[in-house]
Amino acid sequence: MIIGLLVCAIGIIPIVLALSVNKIYKEANLTLGINLFMVMISGWQQGIGVLYFTALFDEQTAFWLFRILRFAPTFSVPAIFFVAYCTIRSFSVTLKNDSILNRVVNYIFTMKMLIALIIWTSFVYFISCWTDFGMKGLEKRSISDSTIEFYFPVYGEWSGLYIVHMANLIIFLLFLFYISTKIRNKNISTFLKHFSLYTLLLFLLGLFNFNPETGIIMGSLGVIIFSIMVIFEFIKLNAIIEVNYYQLRERQKKLDFTGNFVGSLIHEMKNTSTIIRGFSKLIKEDKELTEMQQGSLDMIYKATEQLEQLSFNFNEYIIHSKMSFQAENIVSIIRDSIELSTEFTNQNNIEIKLVDSYQSLMAFVNKSYLQQVFINLIKNSSEAIPPDREERKITILTSINEDYILIDFFDTGKGISESDWDRIFDPFVSSKDNGTGMGLPFVKKIIFEHRGDIVVVNSTSLGTHFKIIIPQLGSDI
């Protein structure tokens, strides 16, 4: 009985950890997944502890309690899947240079697959725990060379069904570990890698429960050690996310301050440039000007245009904070953007291909700003393609993933150095000699205002792949 109490007491540890985490991170979907996982571990341990209450429960009562608590290890499979699902979906995980594996991940980690897994697990639980095919009852045994007695399950003809179910969990954890090594985001990669590894070790140690001589010690140690380590990895991930979030907020404050400060300067620059350009045109009409003077005026006129364009870019970047949103068809906006970019792409001999499987992809957006996003990306992609490149092509692919609309931009340009994949979205960073460094930051802010994101998925000397993620109309993201 003392052993049973000790095992049950150890089983409380995951619940305490889950409650503590829930107080700190109760709003995150991933928190729900971690809490469910901790509850399953606790229930698993309680079920083992019941088997050692031979002095307190008769065989029938112990068998009834054991079957109820067997719910925990059985449903730990969908609980673990749910943790992986929340992680991959919440952080829009993309994998390194592996389009096939990306499609596999997008196919597996869906709500439909989770529901199917819950239905399957319910079937396994019913057959394995509530019919004679899975478990016939309990029998009393004792540990050799001691007076310690315990109940041990008497399994039925279909007991292999439960073994297959738990073996699939081990296969899934190995698959999850492999996926984690391919994830671009280092923080998410580290969390999933450690989560899958710790969970795998926990369940492998749990297999020792089938050997009463050593199972209690090994299983209980596994619950203590690996529960704490899983929670530690979860807290570390959220701490990193919060630090990044606050850094982003501070950066945004600085940008907002700079925008307000520069606003009046932009106004004066526009007024001054208008005056310069106006007088340049008047002077240029003088027929007595020499060729060199005419050339100088042309340079002044071009410089004024550049100054006005720079002012326009600054202005677009800082004034867009207030937008009006309405339901729009993303496909139509992309098609309009391609049409508006026709003159530029024709001049540069660029082919644009839109691969779209949907007549309509509705989202709650600001049409004019989103249109400018697509135009900017088309222009940037066009300028990134070297003049001597044979394949001069931009491919735009639209798709749906759960509550998100995905828009992929592929170009055949010269590529972006991996160290600059994040920096290119910072203001005033440009690889072009005459660039202002405002185009991609403008794109990033507009997409951010739409509750979405834009990332560089891959970039080599043969081209770059941008991915835009925007919530669908009606999503609660």
Whether 401 is in a domain gets the answer yes
Whether 420 is in a domain gets the answer yes
Q: What is the pLDDT of residue 247?
A: 62
Beta strands in 271-403 (DSSP E): 326-329, 351-355, 362-365, 393-401
Alpha carbon 159 to chain centroid distance?
38
Rounded (5°) CA angle 361-363-366:
125
Q: What pLDDT, in 10s, does the model give residues 218-268?
A: 667 777 788 888 888 888 887 776 776 666 566 556 556 555 555 556 656
Of 215, 246, 277, which closes a domain? 246
Of 195, 213, 246, which closes a domain? 246
Distances (CA, A) of 132 to 47, 60, 136, 156, 251: 19, 14, 5, 6, 64
Of 319, 336, 359, which closes a domain? 319
Residue whose entry in the numeric block shows the structure tokens 């529901």: 115
Q: How many domains does the chain have?
A: 3
In a shared domain, residues 359 and 219 = no
Whether 290 is in a domain gets the answer yes
In a shared domain, residues 413 and 273 = no
In a shared domain, residues 230 and 179 = yes
Structure token digits, residue 351: 């082919």
Whether 259 is in a domain gets the answer no
pTM, 2 dp: 0.60
* Domain hosting residue 300, numbered range: 265-319
Whether 476 is in a domain gets the answer no
Q: For residues 16 and 187, is the Cβ–Cβ distance under 8 A?
A: no
In a shared domain, residues 280 and 136 = no
In a shared domain, residues 393 and 345 = yes
Structure token digits, residue 341: 């970019």
In a shared domain, residues 84 and 167 = yes
CATH of the domain at 394: 3.30.565.10
In a shared domain, residues 144 and 198 = yes
Whether 251 is in a domain gets the answer no
Rounded average pLDDT per 10-residue block, the chain, 477 residues: 75 81 70 87 86 86 91 92 86 63 82 94 94 89 74 88 90 92 80 90 72 60 80 81 66 58 61 72 73 75 68 60 76 89 84 80 84 88 88 90 84 86 69 56 84 88 91 61
CATH of the domain at 96: 1.20.1070
Sign of the dihedral defined by the CA atoms of residues 26, 32, 37, 40, in that order = positive
In a shared domain, residues 40 and 136 = yes
Residue whose entry in the numeric block shows the structure tokens 């055949």: 412
In a shared domain, residues 12 and 38 = yes
In a shared domain, residues 467 and 348 = yes
**CA distance linking residue 392 with residue 411, whole number of Å:** 8
Q: What is the pLDDT of residue 141?
A: 81
In a shared domain, residues 195 and 298 = no
Residue at 66: amino acid letter: F
In a shared domain, residues 113 and 87 = yes
Whether 302 is in a domain gets the answer yes
Whether 465 is in a domain gets the answer yes
Q: What is the pLDDT of residue 79?
A: 93
Residues with Cβ within 8 Å of 325's Cβ and at least 6 positions away in sequence, in order, are 364, 365, 366, 450
